[in-house]
């Protein structure tokens, strides 16, 4: 019996190695190019914040006006870093959980190069003044079909892997990963068609853009982050996901509520009266899936305190899940129609919520996944745990500062906007100290992510150290024979949704 068990474990290890080898080039390309775009986005974000504080800064350069720089900052953060990090994680997760090698890595890699080319063209077009002016859809209209085509080449092969998997259980992480892969082209193609192809009333185009912004957050970034949390939590701790029923509630609540949010940003506009209130209700109810995901994953992570303290992947993942919970809580606080929604509608609160969603919730879980995946596809370990610690601490400081102060400062900013007894400069003055804090926070996180990019680039060049143990932030007792970041893809029946 022991001989059969050891033979099965050896065959499983050979299969995992083959899967990781087949994914190395596309996964590392998405991670490294995404990290480079993240650094560029942070530079643009720092410049945009600086120009909000001192509008006369670099005022002789039309390419660097505040509107263009801010639009380029958000666009590179979403499509340069966010989407590419998600692509790298999703294709690896699906391959690992379906036990299938990727036999189209060349096509996926070519699609990745095409995606980067289109994002580069779109970013340059924004800075040259050819942006559309539609939030989160700033790239010129001609770039969106190219982005959808590049994505199709990535998603189709990933979905084929999921379709031809061996019969058996479907993990929670797979449900969220497949959901994100399906929902992204739907919301992107719908927004492109309604705004740039059909056109029509500009007011309804603004409504569609608000829906798209919410859809990207709740139907792509959030489920991708949830897929990572549901994968890493049981895998690293060696415990099954806590509460199978809560996991089900989280997925289906997100799938049902997510598509309805977004219209609350047009409260008071001449559109059907029920739409803003429907969007506000959905934004408030997003607290249900975020709470369900946070409860089930955090309780799994906290089941092994020694591994939680030692594993960088688990630490980043836990921070991301906490930010997910805060996203749900703040969504309730700032979207109450008759109290806080008028204050947050046109203030810097929206930016704070965007950063909390994209950098706090999504990016922290992507960092956790990257610290877990990269050693497996490169067969090397991370060079420095000090780099990882600095990356974590500076990033935590930044997201707390930008998100929390952005939300709170935005509410004060909104109060100034609503107070008609005082001039508009009074509202601007209320936001001023929060903008300075945001600028300082972005400077800190830029430094930490430059270390992260260099660290990741060295790993892609396979200059990491050879080791039989994972990089840990401290000393931990290895009660799990596979180590604190072991490679057991099946963490038990509590981590699956269906058989």
**Residue 275: φ, ψ to 5°:** -65, -50
Mean pLDDT of 450-470: 78
Q: Which residues have C-beta within 8 Å of that of residue 228, sequence separation ≥ 6?
A: 89, 93, 173, 317, 320, 365, 366, 368, 369
Helix axis angle, 222-237 relative to 364-378, nearest 10°? 60
Higher pLDDT, 242 or 467: 242
Q: Is the dihedral of CA 408, 412, 413, 415 positive or negative?
A: positive
Domain ranges (residues) in the chain:
18-474
Confidence of residue 352 (pLDDT cuts 50, 70, 90): confident
**What is the predicted pLDDT for the residue at 167?**
62
**Residue 101: φ, ψ to 5°:** -70, 150
**What is the predicted pLDDT for the residue at 272?**
79
What torsion do the CA atoms of 71, 74, 80, 81 make, to the nearest 10 degrees?
170
How far apart, in Å, are the Cα atoms of 200 and each of 195, 208, 212? Answer: 8, 12, 17
SS3 of 48, please? Answer: helix
SS3 of 350, please? Answer: helix
Strand partners, 496: 171
How far apart, in Å, are the Cα atoms of 64 and each of 46, 51, 61, 76, 134? Answer: 12, 9, 6, 15, 18
**What is the predicted pLDDT for the residue at 2?**
54
Query: Is the pTM here over 0.85, yes or no?
Result: yes
Confidence of residue 425 (pLDDT cuts 50, 70, 90): low
**Residue 496: φ, ψ to 5°:** -120, 155
Q: Which residues have C-beta within 8 Å of that of residue 90, sequence separation ≥ 6?
A: 158, 177, 180, 181, 224, 227
226-284 pLDDT per residue, tens: 999 999 999 998 888 887 788 888 999 999 999 998 888 777 777 777 888 888 888 88
191-224 pLDDT per residue, tens: 999 999 987 778 888 889 999 999 999 999 999 9
d(CA 153, CA 115): 10
Mean pLDDT of 303-323: 87
Answer whether 229's CB lies under 8 Å from 320's CB: yes
* Tokens describing residue 108: 């996926």
Q: What letter would DSSP give residue 129?
A: T
In 218-332, the DSSP E strands lie at: none
Residues in the chain, how many? 499
Q: Is the dihedral of CA 352, 176, 41, 401 positive or negative?
A: positive
18-474 has which fold? Cytochrome C Oxidase; Chain A (1.20.210)
d(CA 152, CA 96): 21
**What is the predicted pLDDT for the residue at 469?**
63
Higher pLDDT, 236 or 102: 236
User: How do beta strands 496-498 and 170-171 pair?
Assistant: antiparallel
Answer whether 151's CB lies under 8 Å from 185's CB: yes
pLDDT of 483 above 60:
no
How big is the chain by its Cα radius of gyration, in Å? 22
Mean pLDDT of 396-407: 78
Answer whether 292's CB lies under 8 Å from 249's CB: yes
How far apart, in Å, are the Cα atoms of 406 and each of 77, 82, 401? Answer: 17, 20, 7
First to last CA, the chain: 26
């Amino acid at each position: 019996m022991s001989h059969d068990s050891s033979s099965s474990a050896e065959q499983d290890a050979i299969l995992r190695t083959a899967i990781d080898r087949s994914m190395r080039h596309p996964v590392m390309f998405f991670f490294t190019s995404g990290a480079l775009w993240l650094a560029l986005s942070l530079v643009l974000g720092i410049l945009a914040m600086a120009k909000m504080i001192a509008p006369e800064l670099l005022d002789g350069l039309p390419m660097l006006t505040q509107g263009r720089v801010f639009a380029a900052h958000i666009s590179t953060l979403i499509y340069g870093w966010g989407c590419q990090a998600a692509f790298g994680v999703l294709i690896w997760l699906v391959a690992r959980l379906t036990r299938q090698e990727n036999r189209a890595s060349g096509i996926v890699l070519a699609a990745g190069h095409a995606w980067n080319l289109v994002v580069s063209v779109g970013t340059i077009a924004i800075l040259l003044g050819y942006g559309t002016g539609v939030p989160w859809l700033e790239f010129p209209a001609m770039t969106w079909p190219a982005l959808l085509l590049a994505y199709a080449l990535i998603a189709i092969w990933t979905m084929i892997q999921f379709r031809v998997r061996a019969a058996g259980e479907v993990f929670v992480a797979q449900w969220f990963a497949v959901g994100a892969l399906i929902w992204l082209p739907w919301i992107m193609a719908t927004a492109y068609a309604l705004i740039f192809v059909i056109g029509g009333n500009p007011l309804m185009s603004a409504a569609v853009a608000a829906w798209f912004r919410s859809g990207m957050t709740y139907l792509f970034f959030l489920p991708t982050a949830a897929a990572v949390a549901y994968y890493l939590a049981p895998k690293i701790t060696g415990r099954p996901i806590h509460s199978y029923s809560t996991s089900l509630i989280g997925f289906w609540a997100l799938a049902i509520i997510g598509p309805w949010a977004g219209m609350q940003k047009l409260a008071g506009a001449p559109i059907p009266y029920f739409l803003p209130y429907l969007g506000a209700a959905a934004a408030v109810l997003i607290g249900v899936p975020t709470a369900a995901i946070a409860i089930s994953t955090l309780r799994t992570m906290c089941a092994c305190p020694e591994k939680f303290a030692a594993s960088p992947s688990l630490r980043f993942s836990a921070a991301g899940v906490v930010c997910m919970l805060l996203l749900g809580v703040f969504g309730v606080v700032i979207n109450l129609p008759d109290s806080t929604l008028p204050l947050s509608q046109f203030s810097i609160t929206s930016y704070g919520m965007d950063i909390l969603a994209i950098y706090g919730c999504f990016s922290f879980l992507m960092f956790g996944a990257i610290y877990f995946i990269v050693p497996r596809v490169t067969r090397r370990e991370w060079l420095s745990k000090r780099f990882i610690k600095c990356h974590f601490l500076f990033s935590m400081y930044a997201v707390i500062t930008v998100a929390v102060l952005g939300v709170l400062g935005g509410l004060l900013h909104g109060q100034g906007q609503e107070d008609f007894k005082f001039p508009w400069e009074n509202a601007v003055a209320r936001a001023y100290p929060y903008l300075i804090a945001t600028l300082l926070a972005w400077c800190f996180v830029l430094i930490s992510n430059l270390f992260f990019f260099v660290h990741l680039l060295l790993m892609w060049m396979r200059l990491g150290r050879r080791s039989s143990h994972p990089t840990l932030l401290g000393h931990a007792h290895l009660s799990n024979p596979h180590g604190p970041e072991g490679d057991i893809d099946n963490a038990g029946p509590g981590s699956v949704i269906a058989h």
